[in-house]
Amino acid sequence: MSTRLTRRHFLATTAACAVLPSTLRSAEDPPSAAGPDLPLVDLHVHLDNSTIDQVVELAKERGVKFGIVEHAGTKENEYPVVLSNDTELKGYLAMLEGKPVYRGIQAEWTDWMGCFSRGTLAQLDYVLTDTMTFPGKDGQRVKLWLQGVDAKVDMADPEAFMDRYVDWHVEIMAREPIDILANLTWLPGDMLEQWERYWTAPRMKKVINAAVEYGVALEISSSFKVPRLPFLTLAKAAGAKFSFGSNGRYPNMGKLDYSLQMARAIDLKPADMFAPAGNGLKAVQRRKY
């Protein structure tokens, strides 16, 4: 089974377990039903199994603007497409040129910056990454959502794992010139069901402080339904910026129910939302790496 299918299966399983309020807006409702006066933007859209023209059509139907993120980093990262050098990144940028979408990447592992020149990275609208690939016992990259992960990552003591995982969130924001941290606070296996137990206030504050310090926006993920409300409440109070993400593959991009529900719950305003930065202000331009 491919990585993507396994991840999808996981998404389907978690979605099936989630209970959503019946008042929640369905993705088919017009965008005006969203409630808060926020731009409807899904900055976490994958093109797997679809073409850009199909996806642009879907964006129109849903009334949601999309930001496309192709995986980017070394070829050691296994995905259907991994952009690994300037030529591939320029080809991707050209493919999206003139389309009504933002052009981003989902950066992989910690060494992706070395694959590209700064000038080419600066042509992107933004860089997004997540914390779901984690150092294993041997230091090698491990996808935490795959089966058998506990053989590769020491998770015997979940509290000790949590401390390392929180530090991983902080380290990624400290070291990498990213604009958005996606899927954050997600937890592997059945730990996700005990999110409130593991995400204690001191752990939440460490991640939030790093986001504010390094100017990294926090994705409210409609695919994993993270971060949960206590985290988002603290993050807003700390002055963090937010983005919405479906992590969607065709035709599931633009489904932002959880993101919008949380935005209403913490009363997000347009000024609280991340918007792709102008030239000179992008993370790859303003951060040292």
Residue span binding Zn ion (CB under 5 A) among the ranges 106-114, 217-225, 229-237, 268-276: 106-114
**Residue 243 binds Zn ion, judged by CB under 5 A:** no
- Report the residue number whose CB is nearest to Zn ion: 247
Per-residue DSSP letter, 138: T
Taking the C-alpha atoms of residue 228 and residue 257, their distance in angstroms, rounded to an integer, is 14
**Residue 247 binds Zn ion, judged by CB under 5 A:** yes
Give whichever of 169 and 203 is closer to Zn ion, judged by the CB atom: 169
User: Which residue do the tokens 């932002």 mark?
Assistant: 256
Give whichever of 67 and 177 is closer to Zn ion, judged by the CB atom: 67
**Residue 246 binds Zn ion, judged by CB under 5 A:** no
Taking the C-alpha atoms of residue 245 and residue 181, their distance in angstroms, rounded to an integer, is 10
Give whichever of 145 and 231 is closer to Zn ion, judged by the CB atom: 145
Give whichever of 77 and 247 is closer to Zn ion, judged by the CB atom: 247
Residue span binding Zn ion (CB under 5 A) among the ranges 12-20, 24-32, 208-216, 244-252: 244-252
Burial of 97 per CB tally in 10 Å (0-12, 13-18, 19+): exposed
Give whichever of 222 and 247 is closer to Zn ion, judged by the CB atom: 247
**Residue 84 binds Zn ion, judged by CB under 5 A:** no
Residue span binding Zn ion (CB under 5 A) among the ranges 26-34, 104-112, 131-139, 157-165: 104-112
Name the minimum Å distance from CB 247 to Zn ion.
Answer: 4
With the C-alpha atoms ordered 225, 231, 232, 235, is the resulting torsion angle positive or negative?
negative
Taking the C-alpha atoms of residue 56 and residue 61, their distance in angstroms, rounded to an integer, is 9
Taking the C-alpha atoms of residue 268 and residue 265, their distance in angstroms, rounded to an integer, is 8
Report the candidate in 73, 79, 70 with the shortest Cα–Cα distance to residue 101: 70
Name the minimum Å distance from CB 246 to Zn ion.
Answer: 9
Give whichever of 142 and 234 is closer to Zn ion, judged by the CB atom: 142
User: Which residues make Cβ contacts (< 8 Å) with residue 281, sequence separation at least 6?
Assistant: none
**Residue 221 binds Zn ion, judged by CB under 5 A:** no
Look up residue 255 and give its two tokens. 């489904």
Name the minimum Å distance from CB 160 to Zn ion.
Answer: 27
How far from the centroid of its chain's Cα atoms is residue 32's Cα? 25
**Residue 252 binds Zn ion, judged by CB under 5 A:** no
Look up residue 62 and give its two tokens. 């849903």
Q: Interface residues with Zn ion (CB under 5 A)?
A: 106, 247
